[in-house]
Structure 1
Amino acid sequence: MLPLVVYRDHVYTESATTLEGADALALRGAKLGTTSGGIHELSSKDDYKELASTIGEADIYAVKGYDTDFRVMSYTEIDGQVYAQLFDKTNDMTISGGAELEERLYGKEDRKLIYLTLEDKTTVALVLFGEEGLVRYGHVPVFFEVEQGAFQKFWNSLGK
């Protein structure tokens, strides 16, 4: 089961964007609450209450530079060591266009995984699908189409 947190009646799942504990304090915003745990594989819909989670007890904060309607973070210090994790709300997203993709993409070898480090020192994992010129972020079953010329030039620069 994916790590998740319930906040404002929405499920935030473990982000494909990561950060080092040492960089987390600079991104930590206002405290939003403390999770209670309690969610597991056999949980019912009624168990998904405010600040329930699969991560046990942890303080949840806003993330500076991000809207809490999209991203929150857990932040814990134990013996001077910082543990932080980002969570994204990917349900209730509206996609303005595009056709359904067949599962044929997942059977192909023609894909590459890249990691981008942003100015805020978070690292984003993206999956590139070469032949189609598509990009997937995280666990969201949505693909973004990139302008073919730019995508192909970038793809070719990556090597194998």
Structure 2
Amino acid sequence: MNFKDSYKKDNENIKPRKEVVLSLSNKMKSYNESRVRKKSKFNYKVAFSIVAALLIVSVLVFAKEKLEFNNMLANKDSNNIVENQSQENESSNSEYNKTNDNIKEEPIKKGIYVPKQQLGVIDPNVQACRVATLVYKGRIYTMGGTELSLEEGKALMDKKIGVTWDLINEIKDNGTSAGYVDLETLKDFASFGEGDEVYTVNGYDENFRLITYTKNEYGEFISLWECLNDFILADGSDVFGTMNIKNNIENATWETFNNWNYGTLDEKEVSIDDTLNNFIDSMYKGTPYSLEDEELRNELFNKESNYSSGEEYFEANEERQKFIFLKMKDGTKVEIRLFKEGYIYYSGLNFAFKIDEESFNNMWNKLTI
């Protein structure tokens, strides 16, 4: 399993033992030199999350400056509730409306502003975790928690819109005064690697998903990229709706926490019935909660330091986490993480969704060995 496949699985913070970090650093170095896929008995899914969280500098950060969105100012707080300011706008726009009677303003959506991500400048002498990144039209795309085979990916490739170029020099010495790379000045399709062909994705908005394709001496590679920032989040439909999940499932499977964590291929079939359909409906209606809330984050993602041994950590999470995989008719496969507390989580988004208790419990009880 390579770096890309491992990273996209999860991004929670878990405190590692020193020997884990050292071993993983060596594995990432080996990957960057060869780009050859290798198998290992290592705990990849948790371990790469550990490295991303604990290495000294991360090149991906959220923007802190104030950003304008649909005639409103969304402040730097990612939990800022964006309201419909119709009363405020009514007087200021009255003169405009007199001469534009046939033009109606679209209602402004109420929700939480998910801030735009930026690339932080790094010291070239400091080793940093290179998060898989694609920059297009000043926005950052990262590898999502959506699996896709080579054949299915090729079928989804639509219009070729460019080729990637390596932006490593930009994050070393071309930063703004705020310590960020100026994304707006970057030529499109900046990434950590050059020569990947970039395509739009059949059936999806390019503002949400793109595909890259590479063919070299090691084989052919497909990567699906997602932009899950710089938008208004009102409920789960703003995320799961863009994935075309509802009424589009070909099959569903699930697995336990430990099987997922160790990469054991032991997915069990889930019947597509009212229980699953009601669960998906609840996903679309789910209420988002920011994982910047430390109390919630600790409740959901228990850190290894909370336990006297690694065995206790895995045993505890085996009881309170499950994973369901929804494969769409177009081949995309979405991984949803379930927490016994009634939350669901999609990797790549710094939010968890609280969903209807009855629908959640029915689904949780259905996922039994």
Q: TM-score normalized by structure 1?
A: 0.87
Percent identity over the alignment?
A: 28
Counterparts of 1:19-34 in structure 2, within 5 Å, are 19-34=148-163
Q: Which residue pairs with 1:89 in the alignment? A: 227
Alpha-carbon distance between aligned partners in 2 of 1:115 and 1:39, rounded to the nearest angstrom: 34
Q: For CA contacts below 8 A with separation 6 or more, give which structure has more relative contact order.
A: 1
Aligned match of 1:120 in 312, 316, 330? 330
**Corresponding residue for residue 35 of structure 1:** 164
User: Residue in 2 aligned with 1:54?
Assistant: 192
63, 68, 80: which one aligns with 2:206: 68
Q: From the two aligned structures, give the one with the greater strand fraction.
A: 1
Bigger mean CA deviation after superposition, 31-40 or 77-86: 77-86
C-alpha separation in 2, matches of 1:78 and 1:98:
41
Structure 1: distance between partners of 2:151 and 2:232? 34
Give 1 or 2 for the bigger CA radius of gyration: 2
Structure 1 partner of 2:143: 14
Q: Is the 8 A contact 1:14 1:86 kept in 2?
A: yes
Shift of 1:42: 4.9
**Kept in 1: contact 2:163–2:194 (CA 8 A):** no
Letter in 1 for 2:223: Q
Structure 1 stretch displaced more, 108-117 or 23-32: 108-117
Residues 76-155 of structure 1: matches in 2 within 5 Å? 76-78=214-216, 81-96=219-234, 98-100=288-290, 101=293, 102-103=296-297, 104-107=299-302, 109=317, 110-131=320-341, 133-155=342-364
Name the structure with the higher helix share: 2
Measured against aligned partners, the alpha-carbon deviations of 1:19-49 in whole angstroms (never above 9, x if no partner) come to 1001112100101110102238954433742
> Unaligned regions of 5+ residues in structure 1, if any?
none
Cα distance, 1:90 vs structure 2: 0.9
- The range that moved more, 94-103 or 112-121, is 94-103
Does the CA contact (< 8 Å) of 2:289 and 2:354 recur in 1?
Answer: no
> What amino acid does structure 2 have at the position aligned with 1:105?
L
When the two structures are aligned, how many residues end up with a matched partner? Answer: 159
Deviations 1:71-123 (A, max 9, x none): 10101234694311011011112222644442221016211122221111111
